């Protein structure tokens, strides 16, 4: 079921309208600058073409929200949930100096340090869900792939904040887009979430050194409670079994493997849930497709698995491993009373 915390919207829905007082923030897919976004509303732009579906996702609280900007983070919160966005230009991170290492590593550290300072000051101790976007994610610079540079900066910030606690690491995604700064958006709450892992996959934070000096810092999914609703956030999910990519070069087989992984995550989440079991047709999702010509076969596979009524948006983006062609992230919710 769809709940008021999250909705897909058209790109023109905000034109001429009044700001919903419970609106926490937006995610906007497209290469053109967002339009009709009310001043002070945090909005993360995904510099990526929208291939199919509504290009705007909106996140809502349970009551009237207050806005602020601190440490470079634009945010709104309703007393229980906080949505924030921070962007760090890599040339600005380079100019600041500070930590040694590649510029993107420093930018990642700077962004996450700012997020953790804000959350400590506002009393939102628990990260629920994070979205990371950066250009040229698979490119190698300074002798290291840019995604791996980002992972080092993120890991160092988690470590410095004392947040490398494995049962409370948030759900997350990290994708490559066509331009723009390093962009990080997040949902945080006063209440904790429960991290969920996929029994078919090695936990990302336990990946071997083959995948870089620091493992990615995210859980496969997270369960959180907001008002009378339990929310399941599923991290970016790709064609990975154990820790290895499978079905190279085959977008259909990769999509089928993704569905199998999603099914496994939902089964594990259902085991931990305070409510009824989760099922694939309940999911609303962003689908990242590396090559636009793969849209039709990927859509066909996901329609077969999730149903024609599933709320999905498809966009062109690069997955964090160069041999992966598709990634799916999702959310679902259940009323608990």
Active site residues: 327
DSSP string, 86-148: EEE-HHHHHHH--S-S-HHHHHHHHHHHHHHHHHHHHT--EEEEEEEEEESTT-EETTEEHHH
CB 184, CB 130: distance < 8 Å: yes
DSSP 123: T
Is the CB of residue 274 less than 8 Å from the CB of residue 230? Answer: yes
**Token pair listed for 178:** 């066509």
Please count the helices (runs of H) and the strands (runs of E) in the chain: 5, 21
Burial of 140 (0-12, 13-18, 19+ CB in 10 A): exposed
Query: For residue 169, what is the DSSP state?
Result: P
Angle at 333 between CA 327 and CA 334, to 5 degrees: 150
Are the C-beta atoms of 79 and 126 separated by less than 8 Å? no
**Is residue 182 within 8 Å of residue 131, measured between CB atoms?**
no
């Amino acid at each position: 079921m769809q709940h008021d915390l999250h909705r897909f919207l058209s790109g023109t829905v905000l034109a001429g309208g009044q700001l919903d007082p419970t609106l926490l923030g937006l995610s906007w897919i497209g290469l053109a600058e967002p339009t009709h976004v009310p001043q002070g509303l945090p909005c993360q732009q995904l510099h990526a073409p929208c291939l199919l579906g509504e290009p705007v996702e909106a996140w809502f609280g349970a009551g009237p929200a207050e806005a602020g900007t601190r440490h470079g983070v634009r945010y709104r919160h309703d007393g229980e949930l906080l949505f924030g966005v921070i962007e760090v230009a890599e040339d600005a991170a380079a100019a600041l100096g500070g930590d040694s290492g590649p510029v993107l590593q420093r930018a990642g550290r700077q962004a996450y340090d700012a997020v953790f300072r804000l959350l400590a000051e506002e009393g939102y101790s628990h990260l629920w869900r994070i979205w990371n976007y950066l250009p040229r994610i698979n490119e190698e610079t300074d002798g290291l792939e840019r995604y791996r540079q980002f992972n080092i900066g993120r890991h160092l910030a988690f470590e410095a904040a004392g947040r490398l606690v494995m049962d409370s690491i948030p759900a997350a995604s990290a994708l490559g887009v066509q331009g723009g700064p390093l962009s990080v958006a997040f949902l945080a709450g006063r209440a904790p979430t429960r991290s969920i892992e996929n029994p078919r996959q090695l936990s990302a934070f336990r990946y071997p050194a083959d995948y870089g000096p620091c493992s990615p810092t995210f859980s496969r999914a997270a369960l959180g409670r907001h008002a009378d609703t339990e929310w399941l956030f599923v991290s970016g999910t790709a064609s990975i079994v154990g820790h290895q990519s499978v079905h190279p070069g085959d977008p259909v087989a990769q999509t089928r493997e993704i569905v199998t992984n999603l099914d496994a995550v939902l089964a594990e989440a259902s085991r931990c849930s305070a409510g009824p079991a989760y099922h694939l047709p309940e999911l609303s999702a962003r689908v990242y497709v590396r090559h636009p010509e793969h849209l039709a076969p990927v859509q066909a596979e996901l329609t077969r698995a999730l149903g024609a009524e599933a709320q999905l948006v498809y966009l062109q983006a690069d997955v964090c491993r160069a041999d992966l062609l598709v990634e799916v992230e999702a959310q679902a919710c259940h009323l608990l009373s």
